[in-house]
Structure 1
Amino acid sequence: MPTSSIYTTRAVFFDLDGTLLDTAPDMVGALNLLLKEEDAPAIDYDIARKVVSDGTQALVNLGFGESQSDDDFTRRCQRYLAIYAENVCVDTVLFDGMAETLEFLEAHNIVWGVVTNKPEFLTTPLLKALGLDVRAGSVVSGDSLPVRKPNPEPLFHAANECNVLSTESIYVGDASRDVEAGNRAGMITLLASYGYIDNDHQPETWGANGIIEQASEIIDWLSEVPELELDIQRAN
């Protein structure tokens, strides 16, 4: 299994929704505002939270069902995005332990960034509202490039922007496409089990190098010195 530590890792990249930020309160809130506009019943938060990482279309299908007409579906998706854009950072926060993790990375001169499928017009104001835009070494949104995850190109692009090799990097995400993209980019992949994972999924089969239950475990992962490095330190 690949190993990583503060001695070998030069960058850590994060998925956004369900990994770096707990955006579910605002994303589900926007859906329920849309449902209210159309006199439809609200969706239970715990149910909707599990599909947040799948984005607008999945949420609209959850709220209105998959039998809606193409015209209604398109209109609702557009309206959902407009509502969410107006409320993009009302209750969104860093996940527990993430603030300390980012501080740890910065203190050890490990650059960090964001690689998300969320469109730029939502990603940028969200990160700016939380003061994270000026701290991130790279932000690659879902429409920054012609392709997006699970294609590894957005991860290669982020590594290049940070002047690091992908093989010197870790990618943390909460979806199978995150693990696939990270693995294809040659990065260490960590699965954020605290994220938006449906009970029907089997994340242990996705092929991540490690599974973390809280953000602060990234620090533990980096603080574990691989045996080879430990032998070199002892020899010196």
Structure 2
Amino acid sequence: MPTDFKLSCVLFDLDGTLVDTAPDLIASLNRALAAHGLAAVAPEAIRPFISYGGGAMVRESVGADTDPELQAAILKTMLDHYQSNIAEYTVFFSGMAETLRIIEARGLKWGVVTNKRKRFTDPLMAALKLTARAACIVSGDTTANSKPHPEPMLEACRQAGVRPQECVYIGDAIHDIAAGKNARMKTLAALYGYLKPGDTPETWGADALIASPEQIPTWIESLTCR
């Protein structure tokens, strides 16, 4: 890492990085499957696909060859239920609340860039009392393109009033790391997130691999010791 790197803003993916939304998303999926006469799925089987959206969760649950109209109906039921139960079980990953406090105490900005749609992102951030604390909130439909395109990352910088070269982006999927790199940001791969079987985050090109949120302040501290 260049010794002249100046960190101004820490950007997070939402699901699987900043907060653990899996319990609410999987509960909504199983509610939808039951409503359409299908068997529930085990959380551990679906959790790795959360970072790829509700459609991916449904496909993994019922099989990609299932009637597309049925898949669409299940997805609608799932998302409607999720919107009405946005933060019933969602919590910060262990250590993340303290990590945010440390970031703020250092005078750094932080924000969220997610592929989650605004209809879910905004009420979730509000329910967690994070809206006023975040310097930027960019959803999957905030810009014309979503991750891995750099446009959402650049929009986050515009909202936060920072330059991409002064940011680090933390995410748990290959498209997160690609998005950060495409915007010329530093990147950290969150190994504690929703990794899929066969994922090889060590090959994604991130600047570091983070096994837990507690390692984020350590990485930030290392910048001042160079």
Instruction: Give the structure-2-normalised TM-score.
Output: 0.96
Q: Which amino acid aligns with 2:44?
A: D
Distance across 2 between alignment mates of 1:225 and 1:210: 13
- CA shift, 1:190, in A, is 0.1
Match of 1:29 in 2: 27
Q: Which residue of 2 aligns with 1:160?
A: 158
State the match for 2:193 in structure 1: 195
CA drift of 1:150 comes to 0.1
Does 1:214 pair with 2:199? Answer: no
Report SS of the residue matched to 1:186.
coil
Q: What is the Cα deviation at residue 24 of structure 1?
A: 0.3
Unaligned 5+ segments in structure 1 are: 231-236
Q: Name the amino acid aligned to 2:28.
A: A
Q: Retained in 2: the 8 A contact 1:172–1:190?
A: yes
Q: Pick one of 203, 207, 210 that aligns with 1:205.
A: 203
Query: 1 CA distance for matches of 2:3 and 2:154?
Result: 19
Superposition RMSD on alpha carbons, in Å? 1.4
- Equivalents in 1 of 2:2, 2:66: separation in Å? 46
The alignment partner of 2:140 has SS state of: coil
Equivalent in the alignment of 1:71: 69
Q: Could you say which residue in structure 1 is the equivalent of 2:58?
A: 60
Does structure 1 conserve the Cα–Cα contact (< 8 Å) formed by 2:36 and 2:74?
Answer: no
Q: Secondary structure at the match of 1:74?
A: helix
Match of 1:13 among 11, 33, 52: 11
Distance apart, 1:2 and its partner CA: 4.7
- Describe the shift of the 1:203–1:3 C-alpha distance in structure 2 as closer, same or farther (beyond 3 A): farther
Shift of 1:39: 2.4
- Residues of 2 paired with 1:41 and 1:137: CA distance? 42
1:78 positional shift: 1.4
Q: What is the 5 A alignment of 1:1-236?
A: 1-2=1-2, 8-225=6-223, 230=226
Question: By how many angstroms is 1:66 displaced?
Answer: 1.2
Distance 1:146 1:132 in 2: 25
TM-score w.r.t. the length of structure 1 is: 0.92
The letter for the 1-side match of 2:94 is D
Question: Structure 2 stretches of 5 or more lacking a match?
Answer: none
Could you tell me how far apart the structure 2 residues matched to 1:52 and 1:200 are? 15
Identity of aligned residues (%): 40
Q: What are the Cα deviations for residues 168-208 of structure 1, in whole angstroms up to 9, with x where unaligned? A: 01000000000001011111100000000012111111110
Offset at residue 225 of structure 1 (A): 3.6
- Distance in 2, matches of 1:4 and 1:116, equals 28
Q: How many residues align?
A: 226
Task: Using the TM superposition, give the Cα deviation of residue 65 of structure 1 relative to its aligned residue in structure 2, in angstroms.
Answer: 1.4
Task: Please state how far the C-alpha of 1:38 moved relative to its aligned partner.
Answer: 2.1
